[in-house]
Amino acid sequence: MEYTLRDYQIEAVDAALRFFSSKPKYHALEVLPTGSGKSLIIANIAKELNEPILIFQPRKEILEQNLSKLLSYGHYATAYSASVGQKRLSPITFATIGSVIKKTDILKDFKHIIVDECHFVNAKGGMYRDLFQKLGKVKILGLTATPYRLVTDGYGGSILKFLTRTRPRVFKDLIYYVQNEELFTQGYLAKLKYQSTNGFDRSQLRLNTTGADYTDRSVMGYFDQVNFKDRIANVVNDLKRARRGILVFTRFVKEAQYLTDNIPGAAIITAKTHKRIREQTLNSFKSGRIPVVCNVGVLSVGFDYPELDTIIMARPTLSLALFYQMIGRAIRPHPLKDHALVVDMCDNLRMFGSIEKLRINDGGNGKWFISNNGKQLTNIYYGERSGHNGRKVWKARGKNQINRENAGDRPEGQGDLQDLYRGKEE
């Protein structure tokens, strides 16, 4: 099968090939939005490189999707993954980290590595870091749509940092990116319509000890106080007659189960759902036999269903990555949908803005950051961005200490770190 690459896909492939053929032994990063066709880009990198390459995928579904795309070119590739049911090496091998972490001796011929969804790589520890250290002189290219990780500073504060700015770090340079707005404008991603329901009061929620998210106790208490699960059910039932498929993101299993019991035809998927039942449920959802799926922490990554036209965000979040990933399930275009509807029931849009306007910015000297309509969203303290009681989490730290910790890494758009301490944002 022949595929015609778009201009930005060609540029991404060319940048990767230049990186792999260059002499410096640093590791690099490409940022490719959800729906940009990473599987095609990966397939073409592997096809054009003409050298052994190991391609890591975070989970079974994504591995199967990307392997299938490469095989459709007529090229030979294999999988080394227990979850896929195949453990075979070839010059182009797709793998999951858990299946090879203790078998580094069989990987000695691979000098080029791609890590898909590379935001999962923790530079401070974990299987990826351990494997990379054991492999030694290899070149690693990371691909992601969400190029940031939450970093705790040891004093009760959390900073969402661009992957090239963490210390320690795995990925040194950003060698290619394409902006979300460009793909939406050119029609490569589906038009989005946003709808916010009224009456969700985030001031009733409490931050956890890192300031990175809300506590389960406060969220559950507020949900019970306002009878939130019935609000969700009413919204879904009102939409169900007019929408092709509705994917609901909830925080707790008990509310997802309640929705399943009170929305005719709805199904539930959680982390404990058996693999076979999960696949059957998603196949029925895609075929239209199941109109609504309520999921808890499962389908934000790797669920590919271009016909999906409705997302219900029924959980508050302080995670930019989760916010983007939830909406990202519906942004792939399809002839059967004019647009995708995003219903925000928890005031997430006010914090992050529309994903069409998320931008990668070059602050100079490698200081990349994410913004939306001029509001900086990464490389600032999490509690400050949340706009309410997050500052209490790290308020006890002295201003001079904060200045010392951030010397040389001042958030762009901030006139002074003491302004940041006082809660000023620009």
Summarised one tens digit per residue, pLDDT across range 155-181 is: 667 889 999 999 899 999 999 999 999
Residue 391 forms part of a structural domain: no
Answer yes or no: do 249 and 324 share one domain.
Answer: yes
Answer yes or no: do 244 and 335 share one domain.
Answer: yes
148 in Cβ contact with 162 (< 8 Å):
yes
pLDDT one-digit tens code per residue, 84-136: 999 999 999 999 999 999 999 999 999 999 999 999 999 999 999 999 999 98
Residue 83 forms part of a structural domain: yes
Residue 163 forms part of a structural domain: no
Structure token digits, residue 418: 């003491």
List the one residue out of 52, 74, 73, 71 whose CA is nearest residue 63: 71
Residue 392 forms part of a structural domain: no
Answer yes or no: do 223 and 339 share one domain.
Answer: yes
Answer yes or no: do 20 and 121 share one domain.
Answer: yes
- Return the DSSP state at 60: H
What pLDDT score was predicted for residue 69?
A: 86
Answer yes or no: do 194 and 332 share one domain.
Answer: yes
Answer yes or no: do 194 and 81 share one domain.
Answer: no
What pLDDT score was predicted for residue 170?
A: 94
Residue 119 forms part of a structural domain: yes
List the one residue out of 261, 280, 257 whose CA is nearest residue 270: 257
Q: Where are any strands of DSSP class E within 82-124?
A: 86-87, 92-95, 112-116
Residue 365 forms part of a structural domain: no
CA atoms within 13 A on the CB side of 154: 3
Q: Which of 352, 383, 416 is the last residue of a domain?
A: 352
What pLDDT score was predicted for residue 382?
A: 65
CB proximity list for 361: less than 8 A, separation 6 or greater = 368, 369, 370, 371, 412
Domain total of the chain: 2
Query: Region 23-51: what's the mean pLDDT?
Result: 93
Answer yes or no: do 120 and 205 share one domain.
Answer: no
- Return the DSSP state at 93: E
Residue 45 forms part of a structural domain: yes
Answer yes or no: do 194 and 138 share one domain.
Answer: no
CB proximity list for 283: less than 8 A, separation 6 or greater = none
Answer yes or no: do 220 and 104 share one domain.
Answer: no
What is the rounded CA–CA span in Å between residue 282 and residue 270? 12
| Confidence tier at 390 by pLDDT (50, 70, 90) | very low
Residue 160 forms part of a structural domain: no
CB proximity list for 316: less than 8 A, separation 6 or greater = 200, 202, 205, 214, 219, 251, 346, 347, 348
Q: Which of 352, 384, 413 is the last residue of a domain?
A: 352
Answer yes or no: do 261 and 312 share one domain.
Answer: yes
Q: Which of 352, 374, 391 is the last residue of a domain?
A: 352
| Confidence tier at 396 by pLDDT (50, 70, 90) | very low
Domain holding 132, by residue range, is: 7-146
Cα-Cα-Cα-Cα dihedral sign, residues 130, 134, 137, 143? negative
Answer yes or no: do 49 and 198 share one domain.
Answer: no
From the DSSP assignment, how many helices (H) and strands (E) are in the chain?
16, 19
232 in Cβ contact with 259 (< 8 Å):
yes
Answer yes or no: do 64 and 212 share one domain.
Answer: no
Query: Region 375-382: what's the mean pLDDT?
Result: 87
Calculate the CA 109 to chain-centre distance.
31
Calculate the CA 37 to chain-centre distance.
15
CATH number of the domain bearing residue 19: 3.40.50.300
